Amino acid sequence: MVICLVFLFAIVQASIDICTTPNNEPAQCKSLYECVPLLQGLLTQEPKVVEFVNESHCGNLSTEPLVCCGSSYTYIHGPEQIERICGYQHSDDYFRVDTAVAAIDEYPWLAILKYEQDPDLIADGNDFDEFTCVGALIGSRYVLTAAHCLRMRTSAAVGVRLGEYNINEAQDCVKSGVFEVCADQVQDIAIQSKITHPQYNRRYGLNDIALIKLKHAAVFNDFVRPICLPSSDKDHAKVGEIMQFSGFGEITHDGPSTEVKKKVLGALLSNEQCSKYYTNSTGLQRSVNENSICMRELPVNGVHFCGGDSGGPLMYSNKKRWHVEGIAAWGAQICDGRYPAVFTKVSQYLSWIMGVTES
């Protein structure tokens, strides 16, 4: 009995000691006063270091704060580190028979925005959905999304969920032959700040792009990884080339939302051709301009771009490395793929994105 208790205590103690730092580094949870790197960092009195130490908190022991004690006292997920790991997904590493449906580890950068009702704005009890928009993880602490997604008519975005596959399952698992593959637990992270593009115009949908800063860093794994931003040294999609889109929006207009993340294939459409679809549309105070990019869906799709997919990434793969070309902005209220979806062109906003994320 004594041996069993000692063994059980060792297991519990081991599980308590293991932690992950804000830099996604495996480390030990120990007293702050025993963690030399963090103590050295606090001597600098720099606000970023203090923030890092606060995020390293992993519990309390009597009157001593416990911290996840790694090798650094500051964030190392800078642009260079993100550039090395972004855009790769495990689903590109193995053969699959059914490629028309999203794999459990496909689009690991897809983020779902979580909302909270504003009691001062509620008109009735049927105007709220906890998950309404999506976005793309572009770093350990930043999600790129549409500006109009930050606030709905009666609710505001308060958190982000990462690593989701089936929104109705507590544990995501899929069958692969005789084996069962299960995803890591989803990561629900509160929003620290929301940054809307300074020239965003909600009425006309201009500059419909925003950044969300997470309260703490996401933990990267096979199901949570950042996507790359487009840059001058990457090949961009050309008109007619195949691109992909994902989201958790409606299956049909004003219908139920999808349970499993969508996989929508489309071809890049020229802005000139895209504009023709909306020239005679009524009720849309929108236009396709130089800051837009359009996708026309392929007929093979089982699901389509629809309401609730706003903020989602339009993706292009260059040698199995993905980058986000567009952020879903608007489209026709006909969720059957006949009309192209219009996205905010991310490459037009790189300097603004870098200015926010690197400040």
Q: Per-residue confidence at 5, pLDDT binned at 50, 70, 90?
A: very low
Q: Does domain 111-223+351-358 have CATH number 2.40.10.10?
A: yes
At 12 the pLDDT is 36
pLDDT reported for residue 100:
78
* From 112-126, 192-206, 344-358, the region with the lowest mean pLDDT: 112-126
pLDDT tens per residue, range 168-192: 999 999 987 778 889 999 999 999 9
pLDDT mean across residues, the chain = 86
Greatest distance between any 2 Cα atoms in the chain = 81
| pLDDT at 210 (0 to 100) | 98
**pLDDT, tens digit (0-9, with 9 covering 90-100), for 98-151:** 677 899 999 999 999 999 876 665 555 444 457 889 999 999 999 999 999 999
Distant-in-sequence, close-in-space partners of 249: CB < 8 Å, separation ≥ 6: 134, 257, 258, 262, 305, 306, 307, 308, 309, 310, 312
Q: What is the pLDDT of residue 279?
A: 77
Average pLDDT score over residue span 325-341: 91
The pTM (predicted TM-score) of the whole model is 0.78
Q: Are 18-79 and 111-223+351-358 in the same CATH fold?
A: no
Residue 9 scores a pLDDT above 60: no
Which parts of 196-311 fold into alpha helices (H)?
271-278
Spell out the domain ranges in the chain.
Answer: 18-79, 111-223+351-358, 241-348
For residue 80, is pLDDT > 70? no
What token pair was written down for 246? 């994902």
The predicted pLDDT at position 239 comes to 95
> Which overall architecture, per CATH, does domain 241-348 show?
Beta Barrel (2.40)
pLDDT tens string 231-266:
866 668 999 999 999 999 998 888 889 999 999 999
Q: What pLDDT, on the 0 to 100 scale, is given for residue 11?
A: 35
Q: Which of 25-29, 73-77, 100-104, 292-296 has the lowest mean pLDDT?
A: 73-77
User: How many CB atoms lie under 10 A from the CB of residue 98?
Assistant: 7
Contact (CB, 8 A) for 323 and 315: yes
pLDDT band at 8, cuts 50/70/90?
very low
- Tell me the backbone φ, ψ of residue 317, rounded to 5 degrees: -105, 125
pLDDT of residue 10: 37
Token couple for 101: 């449906």
Please tell me the least confidently modeled range out of 5-9, 255-259, 293-297.
5-9
User: DSSP characters for 184-223?
Assistant: PPPEEEEEEEEEE-TT-BTTTTBT--EEEEESSPPPPBTT
Whole-angstrom Cα distance, residue 298 to residue 104?
Answer: 22
For 144, the token pair is 């790129």
Q: For the domain 18-79, what is the CATH code?
A: 3.30.1640.30
Question: Which position has the higher pLDDT, 58 or 130?
Answer: 58
* Catalytic residue positions, numbered: 148, 208, 310
